[in-house]
Amino acid sequence: MSESHSNPAFELEDKEKENGNFENIDLNNGFASSKSDSDLNNTMPIYDPKETRRMSKNIHVVSLGFLLLFTAYNGMSNLLSSFYHVDGLGTYTNATVYAFLVLSSLFIPSFAMRKLTVKWTLVASISGYTLYMVAQYHATFYTMLPAAAMVGLCAAPLWASKSFYLTHLGNQYAELISDKVEIIIIRFFGIFFMYFQSSQIWGNIISSTILSTGKKLTPNETQLEKCGVKFCPGDLETTDDDDLTKDQERKIYIYSGVCLFCAFSAIAIISIFMDPLTRYGEKERIAAMNKKTGFDLIMATTRQMKNPYQLLMIPLTIFSGLEQGFLSTDFTQAFITCSWGVHNVGYVLICYGIVDSVLSISFGPLVRNYGRLPVYSLGAVINYSMVGTMLAWKPDADTPYVFFIIAGFWGAADAVWQTQINSLYGVLFPANEEAAFSNYRLWESVGFIVAYISGNLLCVRVKLIVLIVVLTLGMTGFYVVDYKERVRRRKLAAGGGSEYPWDVLPVLEDGEGRVISQHLAIIRYLATKFGLAGKTDYEMAKCDEYVEAAADVRNELLNYLWDTDDTDKPAALEKMETKILPSVYRKYMDIIKRNESGYLVGNGITYADIYVVSILEYVTKRLRMEPKSSNTFHDFPDFIEYQNRIFNYPGIKTWIENRPILPY
């Protein structure tokens, strides 16, 4: 995780922030400045108290859009393995979706969000799903696989922009009502997944209503012996009845038309009723993200895997994909269709959808009151129990209630994984969301791909055993993460934890679990990393010299501010403004004038230039706040010109104009 808890170059140590004179100083703006300054006020988002209602409306709108889209897509996806079981077309189609989703997650989401904005990335992504519905009218490998590939390419930006929207809106909402960000994000994801999981209800009501009309294919005794845990690829029998085949095709055409209508409705609702995220600082948040190419994101995603928490979360994330893939492919085909008929798949999955939807909104309060540990443990116990039931049970139409029991409890466990793993990624990796959610989609997609590919290769008994093994590994990883977080928070509550080695800010985590503290050490590290520390040993030493000289001025300011003897302060202020600052300004300008490049060191900008102008600008602004200040900064127009030149340097100017508003 690459996280700086504040601007590492210019943040003051904790002692400064504890001093009452510093409570209104913002140190996250590229240079330190007072929040009372007009330029900073113009960048701060200011909301009417009623804005919370509008934010809530947006959460419901985006959730409703997903409900409509996945009412169509999920219902159709659940039936593919039963509709198109010959040659494994259905399962290969589903596998293709997630194979292309993995590729898409590395190259498309961030690019799409920057070019289209989050709102229109959602709209464009949903549009790609319509091709999948159209392909059902002539389902062959040549139509279904390209359509599935399109869905996979659109799925990554769809889910990434959704997560980005919910997480960013959650941060803004939490700040507005002064609540914990973690709790608000969990609440928002809970609302979203309440809608999303209910798509299983409506999608399956539609599919069951359509498929229950006309003729039905019922299983014979030979097929019943192969159902359930004994089921293997190719065991599902086909029919030679032409009338039954034509009736089945007619139902698929009708169902595909309804799905197309739902998808177009989702596009219309989000386009018309969802506020663009630019209303809530999308420009600043996206500007703060590194502009990664596909290769950059691959590297960022790979680096994210080195994070110990990320490594520990991978097995459980894979399981999330595995368990969903098992339900939509193996449970529907090997248990329901094989022993009770394809027309009953929707009815059973309605139970799954109802439980999943209701509990998705219920687990947020449970986590808030009892923590994640019991909720995750409950999800695991349910999955273990249902896998055990399927290993022991022989499905048949005479005990239909068992289908509903398994589906309902499976939905309860899925509600845990969908809401809690999503929100946990947002909480564990707040400063590296792009790479973190890329990992989330990557490893969940691996789970889906394995589930769908194995549908044509492995028998159900083996798949159930695989589910047990992966869930056990996943829960082990989660328990380690939970334990580490509890230990970390206890240390912080006791007055300093491992992430604050010297119990002060700023702190930088370098993405590989290594921590650097103290602001000069951090800026030297970053300057060296980005080629701003000088080209030779001599230039590096001169950069350090000029930076430390500016730091001495900063320390003089701190000595003045911390001085509790008011009788000494007038003389100290006069010394700062008439002796220290003029001397420093002249010395720096002499150095700059002697250097033909117009910079302090070498023939280009270095971190010494950035640090010096930032610190001296901050010191001067802070002194101006003193009642008896003489505002002598205007006596040095040459330095002001140099300072403006640094602040208008292309990369620096862009960052200052689009700098992120952080709560630190």
Q: How far is Cα of residue 424 from the mean position of the Cα atoms in its chain? A: 10
Between 505 and 209, the higher pLDDT residue: 209
**Location of each CATH 1.20.1050.10 domain in the chain:** 2-43+521-657
Q: Which of 3.20.20.70, 3.40.640.10, 3.40.50.620, 1.20.1050.10 would CATH assign to domain 2-43+521-657? A: 1.20.1050.10
Per the prediction, the chain carries an average pLDDT of 78
Per-residue model confidence (pLDDT) at position 216 = 57
Which tokens go with 444?
A: 């969940």
Quick: pLDDT tens for 15-35: 333 333 323 323 233 333 333
Question: 197-207: buried (b, 16+ CB within 10 Å) or exposed (e) per residue?
Answer: bbbbbbbbbbb
Quick: pLDDT tens for 584-640: 888 999 999 998 888 999 988 999 999 999 988 888 877 776 666 666 555 678 888
Quick: pLDDT tens for 400-422: 899 999 999 999 999 999 888 87
Q: What percent of the chain has pLDDT over 70?
A: 78
Between 597 and 138, the higher pLDDT residue: 597
Given a cut of 70, whether residue 85 has pLDDT beyond it is no
- Ramachandran angles phi, psi of 509, nearest 5°: -105, 130
Per-residue model confidence (pLDDT) at position 15 = 35
Given a cut of 80, whether residue 461 has pLDDT beyond it is yes
CA distances from residue 142 to 93, 449, 457, 462 in whole angstroms, order as listed: 11, 20, 22, 31
Quick: pLDDT tens for 489-498: 776 666 544 5
Burial (CB < 10 A; 0-12, 13-18, 19+), residue 259, is buried
CB 448 within 8 A of CB 456: no
Per-residue model confidence (pLDDT) at position 577 = 81
**Most confident listed range (78-87, 314-323, 431-440):** 314-323
Host H or E run for residue 46: none
Quick: pLDDT tens for 167-218: 888 878 877 776 777 778 878 888 888 888 788 788 888 888 887 776 655 6
User: Out of 432-441, 476-485, 594-603, 626-635, which region has the weakest mean confidence (pLDDT)?
Assistant: 626-635
* Peptide bond before residue 570 is cis, with ω within 30 degrees of 0: no
Q: Would you call 516 helix, strand, or coil by DSSP?
A: strand
Given a cut of 70, whether residue 533 has pLDDT beyond it is yes
- pLDDT band for position 279 (50/70/90)? confident
Which tokens go with 577?
A: 């403004």
**Most confident listed range (134-138, 267-271, 304-308):** 267-271
Given a cut of 60, whether residue 526 has pLDDT beyond it is yes
Nearest to 210 by CA among 81, 354, 343: 343
CB 30 within 8 A of CB 652: yes
Per-residue model confidence (pLDDT) at position 419 = 82
Report the CATH fold assignment for 51-279+291-490.
Answer: Growth Hormone; Chain: A; (1.20.1250)
Given a cut of 50, whether residue 41 has pLDDT beyond it is no
CB-CB neighbours of 241 under 10 Å = 12
Given a cut of 50, whether residue 42 has pLDDT beyond it is no
Quick: pLDDT tens for 242-275: 544 566 677 778 888 899 999 999 999 999 999 8
- Give the span between the Cα atoms of 435 and 1, in whole angstroms: 9
Q: How far is Cα of residue 261 from the mean position of the Cα atoms in its chain? A: 30
Given a cut of 50, whether residue 40 has pLDDT beyond it is no
**Location of each CATH 1.20.1250.20 domain in the chain:** 51-279+291-490
CB 661 within 8 A of CB 43: yes
Q: Which long-range contacts (CB under 8 A, 24 or more apart) does 423-429 make?
A: 423/182, 423/185, 423/186, 423/189, 424/313, 424/372, 425/313, 426/163, 426/167, 426/170, 426/185, 426/189, 427/182, 427/185, 428/1, 428/309, 428/313, 428/481, 429/1, 429/304, 429/307, 429/309, 429/310
Amino acid identity of residue 233, one-letter, is P
Count of positions (residues) in the chain? 664
Which tokens go with 212?
A: 């229950």
Host H or E run for residue 568: none
CB 159 within 8 A of CB 102: no
CB-CB neighbours of 648 under 10 Å = 10
Given a cut of 90, whether residue 63 has pLDDT beyond it is yes
- Ramachandran angles phi, psi of 399, nearest 5°: -125, 65
Per-residue model confidence (pLDDT) at position 217 = 58
Instruction: Give bridge partners of residue 517 from the DSSP assignment.
Output: 507
